[in-house]
């Protein structure tokens, strides 16, 4: 899987390692939709979790896709700048990305291009700032 990813995405694949049943890869934002689509083709149908965290110097958006048949996890980490970040939306590939992306937008301020309805979800519409930024 790692080899396949590397040959397919080359430069865009920033890092990759296998930790137990988790395959942790880090990809550049531009390649995210292709990687996700590629993963889906390879059985990772289930978007277990999509979240982000503030690593201090940058944001990391973490996509966890699970293959329900084999139980393998694919963890895709996408680095993003702490302010004004824009990422491609995964909603066309995974419906389950809809609300988590809204949540990340709400709490971290990451904008998702191509998201059908990018509004605040947990906080009120007139909230200023993005609370989970440190």
Partner 1 sequence: MTTGLTPTEHITLNMGPQHPSTHGVLRLELELEGEVIVACRPIIGYLHRGIEKMAEARTYPQVLPYTDRLDYLSSSSNNMAYVQAVEKLLGLEVPERAKYLRVISLELNRIASHLVFLATFANDLGATTVFLYGMRERELIMDLFSMWAGARLTQSWIRIGGVGADIPDGFVDQALAFCRLMPKRLDEYDRILTGNRIFRARTEGVGILPPELGVNYGASGPTLRGSGVEFDVRRAEPYEVYGDLDFEVVTRPTCDCMGRYLVRMQEMRQSVRILEQCLKRLPEGEVRAKVPRVIRPPEGEAYGRVESPRGEFACYVVSDGSPRPARVRFRAPSFYHLSVLPRMLQGWKVGDAVAILGSIDIVLGEVDR
Q: Give the H/E segment covering residue 117.
A: none
Question: How does DSSP assign 85-109, residue by residue?
Answer: -EEE--TTT-GGGHHHHHHHHHHH-
Query: Shortest approach of partner 1 to residue 123 CB, angstroms?
Result: 6
Binding site for partner 1 (CB under 8 A): 21-22, 45-49, 51, 53-55, 62, 64, 68, 71, 73, 94-96, 98-100, 107, 120-124, 131-132, 134
- State which residue, 1 or 121, has the beta carbon closest to partner 1: 121
Query: Do residues 101 and 91 touch, judged by C-beta distance below 8 A?
Result: yes
**Tokens at residue 32, please?**
């995210």
Q: What are phi and psi of 53, to 5 degrees?
A: -150, 155
Compute the distance between CA of residue 101 and CA of residue 63 in angstroms, rounded to an integer.
10
Query: Shortest approach of partner 1 to residue 112 CB, angstroms?
Result: 15
- State which residue, 28 or 43, has the beta carbon closest to partner 1: 43
- State which residue, 30 or 95, has the beta carbon closest to partner 1: 95
Query: Shortest approach of partner 1 to residue 64 CB, angstroms?
Result: 7
Query: Shortest approach of partner 1 to residue 30 CB, angstroms?
Result: 24
């Amino acid at each position: 899987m790692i080899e396949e990813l590397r040959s397919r995405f080359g430069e865009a694949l920033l890092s990759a390692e296998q930790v137990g049943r988790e395959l942790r890869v880090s990809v550049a934002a531009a390649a995210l939709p292709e990687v996700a689509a590629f993963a889906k083709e390879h059985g990772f149908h289930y978007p277990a979790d999509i979240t982000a965290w503030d690593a201090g110097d940058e944001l990391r958006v973490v996509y966890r896709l699970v293959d329900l048949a084999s139980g393998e996890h694919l963890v895709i980490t996408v680095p993003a700048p702490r302010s004004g970040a824009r990422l491609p939306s995964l909603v066309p590939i995974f419906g389950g990305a809809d609300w988590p992306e809204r949540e990340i937008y709400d709490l971290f301020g990451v904008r998702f291009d191509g998201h059908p309805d990018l509004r605040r979800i947990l906080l009120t519409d007139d909230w200023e700032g993005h609370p989970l930024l440190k």
